[in-house]
Structure 1
Amino acid sequence: MLLRQKIKPPGQRPDAVKKAVPAALKSGQYPLCVISQPFGSGKTVFISRYVREHGIQVLWYNLDSTDNQEYLFLEYMEYLFSQIPGRNPQRGVTAWGGEKFEIPSPERLRSLLGGASEALRAGGERYCLVIDSFETITGDGINAMMDQMVKYRPDELSIILITNREIPGFLLRPILNGECLALGGETLFWTREETREYMFRELPESGEDQAGWVYGQTEGWPAGIVLLTRYLRQCAGKWDWDEIFLNTYLGDYLDEALSERGIEGDLWEFIISTAVPRDFTGEGGMAALEDERFMEHLHRVFHGNLFLQYQEGIYHYIPFFREYLVRKCAQNRKQEILSRLLTFYVKKREYIRAVRCGLDGRLTEQLSGLLGLCGRELLREEHLRLLGEALDFLEEQEVEMDLESLETAAQYAYAAGRYSRMESYLNQGDIQFGKENRFSAYRSLYKAFLHLREDRERYGTQINNALFFLKENGLAVPYLREQDREALKELDAEYMALEQKSGIRLLVNPFGTFRALLPDSGKALSWRTKKGRELFAYLVEMKGKPVERKQLIKTLWPEEIPDNAVAMLHNMIYSIRKELSAYHLEGLIRYQDRRYSLPVEMIQQEFSDLEEISRMVEAGTAEQLRGKEERFERYWGRYLEDIDNQWSEELGNYYDRIFEKGCRLLGDSYLGEGNYERAEVFYRSAAQLDPYSEELEEKRLECYRGMGDYRQMKRQYEAFEKVCIKDLDGPPSPVLETFYRKCSREAGKNQ
């Protein structure tokens, strides 16, 4: 006996969301249509509304598993076609429901279609045959008959087939030939805006966050949205998946739907296993499951409308369905799958996916090692939340981190504003070194950025020092906030403006204590060691000429070269560059072709005309020296006085001789002209270097005599006499004494 419910169109039901009918379906240009959507998509409601609103004469057949019997399928088809005016039933047996055909099925079907075609042409009307729930058909016989029906379908009869599985094979050729419209994918899935409108209508107190969460979990699946909205109405906004599956019948609904699909055995194990990771690639899934039939199962699930999505090489289940599936998987199986997948992603250097696997599987050991391996990749704005989750988990598990993980953790803590945790991580790393290291550099850098507004000069210098250390040691700059990067640009611009203002970046005074000064502020550079100052002074003295490393070592240690001289030299150069880096001058010491040099155009000595003066003195031309005579009015000081080395001693002696000789030349020149006052100035300066010279003393006495200042002459001689007795154990020579007596008698006569 036929069941009328199976051949009766569904009653009119309101759509929760009224989806627009695709223009291609509405136009009627396709005689065949298949709508392949997951269960719960509203396929039946959608098609029934479509035929009703468009006034289409419809023959509706609701299939179930019993319709796999060919005779029964034909009985229903005969009855449906008998509803066409002018068409009478043609039975192949004497009564409805017979078990055997007197007429074989193919001939009987063709006869049935032929009769329907005659009646349709005679009546001049068009009909639409809707075959619903075709996923229940598993027999080859029914599929063969449907193939015949598609081939021999009357022109006046269109066919719509509804299924929640893959598109049947007999429709593939018509689809390729443009004769069949395939509505798949998410044709009936709701948009984000449709989800929002539905929720605001059904749950007025819901907000944008709730609507966004529901859409994100269902990706627009209608049944899921309806059930989750009901759950939110009951739970007052608290989201808990265990509660959802228990209290919304969503779990029961999925259980029943999957049971009807007959999913079991290896395929069921495949589905729950591939739901364990948040997403997977074909290659990654095979590595995680180690399943020889992986691709076969993947094809069945993807084309079987089981909520498996695919985009740009990545598969993922719609979140609600994944949450349902993972609750079917044992914990040890989850960890096994995620551990394999994590290993796969690490080999592929897909570290973000690997970290997610580690977190989802609570794989403590693997996750800890992973952070050290890929921490820098995680230190991006879009991944900071994931990194924070991983660090919180490891801290909760009381995992002892390695240096690389501590480095990552400290940078994350700074980015997240957790400064006490940052300090803790940096201390844990710093304590393992005992000297300047990347952790101490990070601390200096981060603290300087945090306090930069308080003292720009001080903390700007600290920033440059820290960055210099990292650069010199081949270490990457740690994570910086946006405001840090902007501050760095401003500091760089300030130093660039200073550099453009003047090409001279350092002023050097080599006489007395060696000093290097910043031209604008007059601030003197500090030296970490005496040897470091000596090294810099030597490079200054070379006036831009490159010096080989061996020569520098011999110069710095002329008597005995230390075993670690090369390392000491590198440390000195590093310390000098670090000091210079505070003022963006770290590039001042140049290294090229294994030789070191200082750019002469960027360094100016306080006595910039020293070489010119030296040449004049060596030439013995007093007339030219007159243009530089102010240089000889006071002693310059000992050249590199505070540097104790053979090369500096030789230079000191040389420039002392230049000074003394220049003073004598100028004194003699003015004495010859009778300009006793100017002559005495230069003789007095020369006497600072040769205080026991009777020749200079005699000339000074002569100058006082020439000026008529006999009282000063007497004081000068008596002072010289005391020095000789004290330091030389005797009075001046008879020659000088005689000259003085002679001058004294002249003084008496003049008085």
Structure 2
Amino acid sequence: MLIDDEKPALMYLEMMLLTDGRFQVEGKYTSAQAGLEYLARSKVDVVFLDMDMPEMTGLEAGEHIQQLNSDIRIVYITAYSEYAIEAFEIHALDYVLKPIDPDRLAKTLQYIQRSIPDKTMKIFSKWRVRCFGHLSFEDGAGNDRQLKWKTAKAQELFAYLLHHRERWISKEILLETLWPDYPKDKALTYLHTTVSQIRKLVKEWQGQISLEYALDSYRLVLDGILYDVSEFERATDRGPAITEQNRLFYENIIALYRGDYLEGYDYPWAETLRSNLLERYLNFVIRAAAYEMEHGFERKALERLHFAEKKAPYSEEICRLVLTTYARQGEYASLNRHYDAFVKLLHIDLGIEPSQETISIYNQYV
């Protein structure tokens, strides 16, 4: 469980824990009192607890936690290292300094794993379902595995249920979406056959991936299996500003986008989310590149922007950032070539000229 009165810090810690994949976040609270009320009726193994909170200090909350259950491990989060000695006096397992460094957090998670007996700790494998690019599975060692789908419809049904994030989808909607041109009795037969195929295929996950049925509806449940789209959305939706401490974490988030959502599959139902995720990716890349340019990572920024350009070749914002990066590096020949190619692309493909803002920036640099 996580307790921190600063919501961005709370979300950032949750994202790092989810990305690590070994532990499940049972609850997160911006109020120590609300967290204690939860602990009074629920069981958790570890509490990440902020030291400096307005209603109750972390040390006071830690004492209450120990009274509730002395087996709970506490990891304190603090901006002040002098709290560390006092924290260990009340049996803290560890402490981490704000802003949280991913490498330091990894050591804390190792302490946790060593300190809790296997029988009391939920350790999930680092398997991940990937929908950026082709639908695939990544094992704990980072290797991609393609499942042997019996039919194309089995793959589509799996992807469609995954697309809806554990929401129940009625049989009627599934039939209308996946078998719209078949008589209902025949479509139902295909649905039941396809469901059976999927269940056989996911057996090896021993319940961590399951296809559930209730009230004439189905849903796909992932229990401890990571999902790249959810990871990406959490980071790009609520993540804190990019800093030197969390830059590598965001590198990993951007790296999740290995291609467009369900790229190469002609699924009409995926189009809206595909466009939304691409927009999120481009906005996030622009943020990351702007940070890298400001902090001396121009080469990395250029590499990132050139990849993004393949996804959005007509983006003037990306073009302007590329021009700015070349100018900062003094690479004016590259700047001119890039601008000329962009102007030509807009003219041939869209029949338009660059905006006045882009033209002004180019003229300023040359």
TM-score between the two structures when normalised by the length of structure 1 = 0.28
Cα offset, 1:607, TM superposition: 5.9
Which protein has the bigger helix share?
1
Counterparts of 1:740 and 1:508 in 2: how far apart (Å)? Answer: 43
1:689 partner amino acid: K
Q: CA deviation at 1:630?
A: 4.2
Contact 1:680 1:703 in 2 (8 A): yes
8 Å contact from structure 2 (residues 126, 140) kept in 1: yes
Aligned residues of 2:154 and 2:198 also touching (Cα < 8 A): yes
Contact 2:231 2:253 in 1 (8 A): no
Q: Residue 652 of structure 1 is aligned with which of 261, 268, 274?
A: 274
Query: 1:632 is aligned with what amino acid?
Result: I
Matches for 1:289-438 after TM superposition, within 5 Å = none
TM superposition shift of 1:545: 3.5
Listed as ranges, the matches of 1:154-303 within 5 Å are none
Kindly provide the amino acid, as one letter, of the partner of residue 132 in structure 2.
F
User: Which structure shows the higher strand fraction?
Assistant: 2
- Residues 1:556 and 2:178 are matched in the alignment: yes
Amino acid at match of 2:157: L
Residues 562 and 653 of structure 1, relative CA distance in 2, 3 Å threshold: farther
Aligned residues: 242
Q: Residues 502 and 621 of structure 1: is their aligned pair in 2 closer, same or farther, counting only changes over 3 Å?
A: closer
Deviation at 1:512, TM superposition (A): 1.2
Give the residue type in structure 1 aligned to 2:149. W
Q: Unaligned stretches of 5+ in structure 2? A: 1-121
Matches within 5 A, 1:526-537: 526-537=148-159
Post-superposition shift, 1:571? 1.4
Confirm whether residue 603 of structure 1 aligns to residue 225 of structure 2.
Answer: yes
Contact 2:127 2:137 in 1 (8 A): yes
Matched-pair contact (CA < 8 Å) for 2:208–2:225:
no
**Higher alpha-carbon deviation: 633-642 or 728-737:** 728-737
Aligned to 2:235: 613
Q: Which residue in the other structure is 1:721 paired with?
A: 343
SS of match in other structure, 1:550:
helix
Give, in angstroms, the shift of residue 615 of structure 1: 1.8
Q: 2:208–2:223: 8 Å Cα contact kept in structure 1?
A: no
* Paired-residue identity, %: 27
1:689 aligns with 2:311: yes
Q: 1:625 to 1:516 in 2, by over 3 A?
A: same
Is 1:544 matched up with 2:166? yes
Amino acid at match of 2:250: K
SS for the counterpart of 1:539 is helix
Distance 1:652 1:732 in 2: 27
Offset of residue 510 of structure 1: 0.6
Q: Is the 8 A contact 1:660 1:686 kept in 2?
A: yes
Aligned CA RMSD, in angstroms, stands at: 3.8
- With over 3 angstroms needed to count, the CA separation of the structure-2 counterparts of 1:562 and 1:614, relative to structure 1, is farther
**Which residue does 1:711 correspond to in 2?**
333
Contact 2:327 2:335 (C-alpha < 8 Å) held by counterparts: yes
Aligned partner of 2:130 among 505, 509, 527: 509
Mapped to 2, the partners of 1:577 and 1:519 lie a distance apart of 22
Q: Distance in 2 between matches of 1:608 and 1:736?
A: 35
Residue 740 of structure 1 is matched in structure 2 by 362
CA distance in 2, matches of 1:682, 1:654: 19
- State the alpha-carbon separation in 2 of the partners of residues 523 and 508 from structure 1: 10
Cα 1:710–1:607 change in 2 (3 A) is same
Aligned with 2:324 (options 697, 702, 706): 702
Does the CA contact (< 8 Å) of 1:616 and 1:625 recur in 2? Answer: no
- Mapping of residues 120-139 of structure 1, within 5 Å: none
- Aligned-partner SS, 1:664: helix
Residue 568 of structure 1: aligned partner: 190
Cα offset, 1:735, TM superposition = 5.4
Question: What are the equivalent positions in structure 2 for 1:26-37 lying under 5 Å apart?
Answer: none
The one-letter amino acid paired with 1:574 is: S
Distance in 2 (CA, whole Å) between partners of 1:609 and 1:730 is 38
TM-score by length of 2: 0.54
Q: Per chain length, whose mean CA-contact separation is higher, i.e. which structure has more relative contact order (CA < 8 Å, sep 6+)?
A: 2
Indicate if the aligned counterparts of 2:209 and 2:225 stay in contact, CA closer than 8 A: no
CA distance in 1, matches of 2:224, 2:297: 42
CA distance in 1, matches of 2:310, 2:209: 41
Note closer, same or farther for the CA distance 1:726–1:633 as it changes in structure 2 (3 Å cut). Answer: farther
Change (3 A) 1:664 1:651: same
Alpha carbons 1:633, 1:682 under 8 Å: kept: no
Please give the secondary structure, in 2, of the residue aligned with 1:513. coil
8 Å CA contact retained: 1:622, 1:669: yes
CA contact (8 A) 2:207 2:223 kept: no
Distance 2:283 2:157 in 1: 30
Is 2:212 the partner of 1:590?
yes
Change (3 A) 1:581 1:505: farther
Structure 1 pair 633–611 and aligned structure 2 pair: CA distance change class (3 A): closer
Aligned pair in 2 of structure 1 residues 634, 700: CA closer, same or farther (>3 Å)? farther
Report the alpha carbon displacement of residue 697 of structure 1 after superposing the two structures with TM.
Answer: 1.2
Counterparts of 2:297 and 2:199 in 1: how far apart (Å)? 52
CA distance in 1, matches of 2:307, 2:160: 28
Question: Which residue in 1 is equivalent to 2:285?
Answer: 663
Tell whether the 8 Å contact from 1:632 to 1:682 is kept in structure 2 after alignment. no
Aligned-partner Cα distance in 1 for 2:255–2:206 = 38
Structure 1's 611 and 696: CA in aligned 2 closer, same or farther, altered over 3 A?
closer
1:632 maps to what in 2? 254
Cα displacement (A) at 1:734: 6.2
CA distance in 2, matches of 1:654, 1:726: 27
* Per-residue CA distance 1:208-249 (angstroms, 9 max, x = gap): xxxxxxxxxxxxxxxxxxxxxxxxxxxxxxxxxxxxxxxxxx
- Report what 1:486 is aligned to: none
- Distance in 1 (CA, whole Å) between partners of 2:233 and 2:262 is 16
The answer as to whether partners of 1:511 and 1:638 remain within 8 angstroms in 2 is: yes
Residue of structure 2 equivalent to 1:90 = none
Indicate conservation of the 8 Å contact 2:320/2:358, yes or no: yes
Shift of 1:743: 1.9
Q: Which amino acid aligns with 1:510?
A: C
Residue 705 of structure 1: CA displacement? 0.7
Aligned 8 A contact 2:132 2:257 in 1: no
- Deviations along 1:634-685, one digit per CA (max 9) or x if unpaired, are 8531111233333311111111111011112223344556764454444434
Partner of 2:28: none
Partner of residue 71, structure 1: none
Kept in 1: contact 2:161–2:220 (CA 8 A): yes
* Residue 569 of structure 1: how far off its partner (Å): 0.8
Equivalent residues of 2:209, 2:223 under 8 A apart: no
